[in-house]
Amino acid sequence: MSRQRRGEETRLRILQAAEACFAQNGYDATSVAEICKHAGLSKGAFYHHFSSKQALFIELLNRWLENLDMQFESARTEAKDVPEGLFRMAEMTGSIFQEASGQFPILFEFWVQAVRDPQIWKAAIAPYHRYRAFFSQMIKAGISEGSLRPVDPDLTAQVLVSLAVGLLLQGSLDPDGADWAGVVQDSIKMLLRDLER
């Protein structure tokens, strides 16, 4: 095994150990020492890969979002038009909710940290801006291809992102309170009825 590959495997082992520890005890209550113990590694190995628990957490979040981005990209390219692409993304959200449900409490802690720490704040804010830009682009493409009415792309993107964030929050606080996957799909259908030409 190459040195580089071994390095990547150690990195992944730390990330997975951290994910497990955070899910069980929360972000604040988890120490670097515990993550190392769980991963079967020394602190030296940890700090070779991550400068801090905070840096590790930001990488966890970014990996999770990269995965989501890839799914969204493929939904967009495989769909025949923008409304179908949006609806496919809504369908995916069902599995996203299930996969990620254990991670949501960590997201709340992340927000608490974000309010107090400028570096975490930047990492917490970035995805919102990115998804707003992504959906705004997509709405513009829909208007160009003639599948959507000439709505305001930025406002519509903001509504989509806000709706998704609101559903994510309620779904993570109250997983049994509704059929969240169904609600996501029905909400998007409702919005699309207004948006489609």
User: Are 132 and 154 contacting, i.e. CB atoms less than 8 angstroms apart?
Assistant: yes
Print the binding letters for residues 178-197 with its own copies: x by CB under 8 A, - otherwise.
Answer: x----x--xx--xx-xx---
Q: Are 129 and 136 in contact (CB under 8 A)?
A: no
Nearer to its own copies by Cβ, of 36 and 183: the residue is: 183
Min. distance of Cβ 164 from its own copies in angstroms?
A: 7
Tell me whether residue 100 is exposed, middle or buried, using C-beta atoms within 10 angstroms of its C-beta: 0 to 12, 13 to 18, 19 or more.
middle
Name residues contacting its own copies, limited to 59-118 (CB under 8 A): 104-105, 108-109, 111-112, 114-116
Task: Identify the burial level of 146 via C-beta atoms within 10 angstroms of its C-beta, where 0-12 means exposed, 13-18 middle and 19 or more buried.
Answer: exposed
Nearer to its own copies, 64 or 121 (CB): 121
Q: Does residue 65 contact residue 93 with C-beta atoms inside 8 Å?
A: no
Residue 22's closest CA among 48, 55, 51, 60? 60
User: Does residue 167 bind its own copies (CB under 8 A)?
Assistant: yes
Residue among 128, 144, 146, 150 that touches its own copies (CB under 8 A): 128
Residue 171, judged by CB atoms within 10 A of its CB (0-12, 13-18, 19+), counts as buried
Nearer Cβ to its own copies (33/190): 190
Interface residues with its own copies (CB under 8 A) are: 26, 28, 104-105, 108-109, 111-112, 114-116, 121, 124-125, 128-129, 151-152, 155-156, 158-159, 161-167, 169-170, 173-174, 177-178, 183, 186-187, 190-191, 193-194
